[in-house]
Structure 1
Amino acid sequence: MAEPEPSYIDYEAFLDPSFSPTSFANNLVTSTNNPSDTPLDLSTPLSRVLFDIQEIDTHIHNSTTKSALPLLTHTRDQNDAGQRVLQAVEAQVAVLKEGYERLERDVLRKWEAAEEVRGAAERSWATVRLARAVGRCLMLGRQLEGQLVELTPRFVDNKGDESAPLMREDHRALVRASHTLLMLRRMFMTTADGEEGYGLDRVRVIRTLRSDLITPAENSVKARAQQIVNKFSLKAVFMDEEHPAVSPGPRARSSGATTYAQQEELRARVISAITALYLLSPTPKSNIPVTSFSPELLLATLKGYIHTSLSASLAALTRGLSMLPSLDRALLEVSTRCQHIVALEGLLQTVKPPVHPFLIYPSSEQDGTETQAALDKKKSNLLRPVLQALDTSSLPSYFWRSLASSLSPAVQEIVSRGGVSARTMRSNQDRLREDIRACVLRGSLSSSPGLKRESMMSMAPKVVGNWEREAAVMVSSVIGALGR
């Protein structure tokens, strides 16, 4: 390689990474001017810079002229090498492209077709599942419609009796309709993605079915069951000529078998209504522990029945105390209503809670002995939740104590008004005491519900338990107000 020509230009300074054009220009101006001169001469440093540039340009031209052939040869070699590399890469790219096209043809397109088939299958399955759910709802709706027809009273033959035909209804349809409503309720509650009722709320026929049939049917079943419970009387448990509160009539007395059949039919009718109210009680979700369930609808109906009896008894006693000649009839009415409460308590004590499809019943193998014992205790009968809701030990005790608490202000009002009624009550306190005590004891008569027919026909009503405390409370509510 030829030696570089000598040059006064310091190329190393220009190629130094720390080279600063500003510092170089400042040094050049300072070196070509006298610091004491006022005018600044820039033509000299500018001429020097232009001369240096011309020198560098000449040097570049000479260098490229002398090295043109090696530069061209090197450039050609680099170009040839690049072409060879490009040809090799293009061959590999062509192979890769061909493989990708084959992969796209053999896999990707088939996958796209399969994805379309999968989407169509999913939509078809969703359609089939929704159609199946809609069909099930319609089938249950038709079944519910038939059960409502069974609940409608209809005429039946009275076996040659000259009197008018009897009106009969299938009270067992209450329970069947309740189970149908529960199945429909489960369909409408399981509406999450993947569940049985998913998408039902978007189907117009289901919305129409729900608004025009299911909701009115549920209200009708509830109302019918509540009506049966509210009309509950001692006839539903006991029918006997010796019972002072029941008068079955000459036709019922004519045949013991007919009387017993009627009694069993009335009792089963009330049990069906109680079972329906238990099943139709609201539940927050479809699966809850049985220990957390409270039959609110049944409890509300029974509370309403008891409070209605209390209101009617209070009104009768108030009228009887205001007009003492009618007191005996009022006390008989009150004792009869309490006997109905006693009969209701006995009936509830014999009725086991029905199996609810929304409740979870843990097995004894999964739970401890104590938990299972508590569960069995709670499931023993339907009387226990009623007593817990009323916070009492027995329904007759609750009846008498509640009646006494409401009766005392009524007696005070009668006394405060004065007149013949108040004077008569004060002068007949001993008679009032005995009559009220006898009313409480008579109202506590038990007809021994749940016994067999032979035992029922051979036993007279009897007083079960000690009701002297309740009698004392009732007497005190009247006599105590008279002495004030």
Structure 2
Amino acid sequence: MTSNGSQRNELEDFEAYLEPDFDAKSFANSLLISTNGHDNNLLDLQTPLKKLKYDLVELDKRMKSISSTNYESLTLNFTQIEQYRTILQDRINPRIDTINKPFEKIKKEVIEPYEDAVRLNNALKNVHQTLELLRATSFFIFLIQQLEELQGGVPIGRGDDVVRASRLYTQLMSLYQSVTSINGGAKSDHGNNVLSIKLIRDYRATAVTRRQSLVQECSMTINNETCRSSSLNLKNLKLYHTLQALYILDPQEFYQVLDKSTIQRQVTTSSNQLSKALQSPRNFMAILTEVQENNTTYFSKLDEVLNKWSLPQDSTNKSDESLLSPVLSYYRTESLMVLFWQKLAQQLKRNIVATMARGGPIAKNLRVYSQGLKTSVEEKFTEEVIKSGILDALSMIEHK
């Protein structure tokens, strides 16, 4: 058999055909260009074809020469190849088949069923995620539909619609919060988060705005309906439903609005009356009596309606719990009347201190009437908490 050097000599004129990235189209193109050039208007195909035919003839000659020269080696190689093929077919392949059979059985009985189970499990996961998304979406859609039926406005004055709207907004915002992370985006562990649905995602801003408008409208209504004692009656369902609605929407806002609309307003009004009365100590007790009578009436009615009206029912309160109970707990007081007089006494005390600091005839008259005022208060008020607060304020007249 010839050496590798001899083989290379036999093929040295055909290197282009032996390139690993040989491409017939590219080779033909380069052959045409080398024969015709770039500027030739006539295309010569005969010369390239002759060259290719010459190469074919030359290759055939060289193949015959190699075969003739290395006849014995080629014959020996072909014989060995045939022997190896026989060994492979008769001895090795059967053993490989024997080895492969258990693996085929494992593949058929274990691997393929496992792969099928994995595919089914993935399909079930997708179905489950889709169902979860649809279920969560249905909750949102139901609440949104209910709110839209209320025309999206603030239904103050339409019976218990305001309470219904408040519950719906609270439930809807709770749902939004459950699918929202701390930074305001969708929770990363919710692959099919409902916020990916445009309707639900876009409605959030609308719900927030309308809810805030409802809170403001409730606050205004409570402020208007509590400014007169005549409005504090059990027939005033507008006030009742509005109080319930605001408590549902924002309990903290409920307490603040109720405090500002009732206790603080009454304290401010009464404090102004008593402040003017300090300028005429002779009339102080008459004005104080008027303040007592007016506020006794006001807070008696307020206590009555709050005690008769129940809290909106939910899982955190009893079904028969009144609105008055959480209000008293919030202020940590036994009654709103006592709380009013405590705050009024504090304000009166500050007014007296300021008046005495200014001096003049008013301060002098107060010192003259000081003891008489204290005696009158002792006789007028029977409740110790209220009486002690007013007496403490009057003691500032003689304080040095």
Whether 2:239 is the aligned partner of 1:270: answer yes
Aligned equivalents of 1:146, 1:332: Cα separation in 2: 49
In the TM superposition, what is the alpha-carbon distance from 1:117 to its structure 2 partner? 4.6
- TM-score when normalising by structure 2: 0.60
Residue in structure 1 matched with residue 272 of structure 2 by the alignment: 315
Cα distance in 1 for residues equivalent to 2:144 and 2:197: 15
C-alpha distance after superposition, 1:368-392 (max 9, x if no partner):
xxxxxxxx7x974333333233232
2:312 counterpart SS class: coil
TM-score (structure 1 length as normaliser): 0.51
1 CA distance for matches of 2:388 and 2:270? Answer: 18
Correspondence for 2:141: 138
- The residue aligned with 1:75 is none
Write the distance in 2 (CA, Å) between the matches of 1:269 and 1:96: 88
Aligned to 2:342: 401
Structure 2 letter corresponding to 1:348: L
Q: 1:172 aligns with which of 120, 138, 160?
A: 160
Matched with 1:40 is none
1:140 Cα deviation after fit: 1.2
Write the distance in 2 (CA, Å) between the matches of 1:217 and 1:398. 34
Determine the structure 2 residue equivalent to 1:467: 383
Structure 1 distance, partners of 2:197, 2:96, is 56
More helix by share: 2
1:181 alignment counterpart: 169
Q: How far 1:277 moved relative to its partner?
A: 3.1
Deviation at 1:396, TM superposition (A): 0.7
SS of residue in 1 equivalent to 2:278: helix
Q: Given the alignment of the two structures, is residue 345 of structure 1 paired with residue 303 of structure 2, yes or no?
A: yes
1:356 aligns with 2:314: yes
Q: How do residues 198-209 of structure 1 correspond to structure 2 at under 5 angstroms?
A: 199-209=193-203
Kept in 2, the 8 Å contact 1:338–1:399? The answer is: no
Q: Is the alpha carbon distance of 1:467 and 1:145 closer, same or farther for their aligned partners in structure 2, counting shifts above 3 Å?
A: farther
Structure 2 Cα separation of the partners of residues 421 and 476 of structure 1: 19
**Cα shift at 1:116:** 3.5
CA distance in 2, matches of 1:137, 1:226: 27
Q: Mind listing any 5+ residue stretches in structure 2 that lack a counterpart?
A: 1-86, 181-186
Cα distance change on mapping 1:411 and 1:197 into 2, 3 Å: farther
- Please list the CA deviations of residues 340-364 of structure 1 after superposition, one character each: whole Å capped at 9, or x if unmatched: 333222322223433225x4x8xxx
Matching residue of 1:229: 222
- CA 1:412–1:183: 2 relative to 1, 3 Å: closer
Cα displacement string for residues 132-152 of structure 1 (whole angstroms, at most 9, x for unaligned residues): 423431331232244365634
C-alpha distance in structure 1 between counterparts of 2:376 and 2:191, whole Å: 62
Separation (CA, whole Å) in 2 of partners of 1:140 and 1:435: 61
Equivalent of residue 123 in structure 1, options 123, 126, 147: 126
**Are 2:213 and 1:220 equivalent residues in the alignment?**
yes
Is 1:279 equivalent to 2:235 in the alignment?
Answer: no
Change (3 A) 1:404 1:329: closer
Query: Aligned partners of 2:192, 2:282: CA distance in 1, in Å?
Result: 68
Q: Distance in 1 between matches of 2:320 and 2:196?
A: 39
User: For the Cα contact (< 8 Å) 2:176–2:204, is it kept in 1?
Assistant: no
What are the superposed Cα offsets for residues 27-70 of structure 1, whole Å, 9 maximum, x if unpaired?
Answer: xxxxxxxxxxxxxxxxxxxxxxxxxxxxxxxxxxxxxxxxxxxx
Q: Within 1, Cα distance between the matches of 2:191 and 2:341?
A: 49
Map of 1:52-451 to 2, 5 A cutoff? Answer: 91=94, 93-101=96-104, 104=107, 108-109=111-112, 111-113=114-116, 115-147=118-150, 151-152=154-155, 169-191=157-179, 199-211=193-205, 213-231=206-224, 232=226, 233-238=228-233, 264=235, 266=236, 268-281=237-250, 295-305=251-261, 306-322=263-279, 332=290, 335-337=293-295, 339-357=297-315, 359=316, 380-426=321-367
- Superposed CA deviations along residues 370-423 of structure 1, whole A, max 9, x for unmatched, are xxxxxx7x9743333332332322111111122112211211222332345445
Matched to 2:396, the amino acid is A
- 2:150 alignment partner, SS class: helix
Conserved 8 A contact 1:188-1:197:
no
SS at match of 1:392: coil
Q: How many angstroms apart in 2 are the aligned matches of 1:220 and 1:143?
A: 17
Contact 2:221 2:239 in 1 (8 A): yes
Greater CA drift, 171-180 or 380-389: 380-389
Q: Structure 1 residues 300 and 91, CA, compared in 2 at 3 Å: closer, same or farther?
A: farther
Matched residue type, 2:255: L
Secondary structure (helix, strand or coil) at the match of 1:100 reads helix
CA-CA distance at 1:218 after TM superposition: 2.2
The answer to whether the Cα contact below 8 Å between 1:175 and 1:276 also exists between their aligned partners in 2 is yes
Cα contact 2:155–2:162 (8 A) shared by 1: no
Deviation at 1:176, TM superposition (A): 0.6
- Cα 1:203–1:333 change in 2 (3 A) is farther
Q: Is the 8 A contact 1:237 1:347 kept in 2?
A: yes
Q: Distance in 1 between matches of 2:241 and 2:145?
A: 21
Partner residue in 1 for 2:397:
482
Determine the C-alpha separation between the residues in 1 that align with 2:343 and 2:327: 16
Shift of 1:324: 7.1
For 1:423 and 1:174, the matched residues in 2 are separated by 56
Greater CA deviation, 385-394 or 112-121?
Answer: 112-121
- Structure 1: segments with no counterpart, 5+ residues: 1-82, 154-168, 239-262, 282-294, 362-375, 442-465
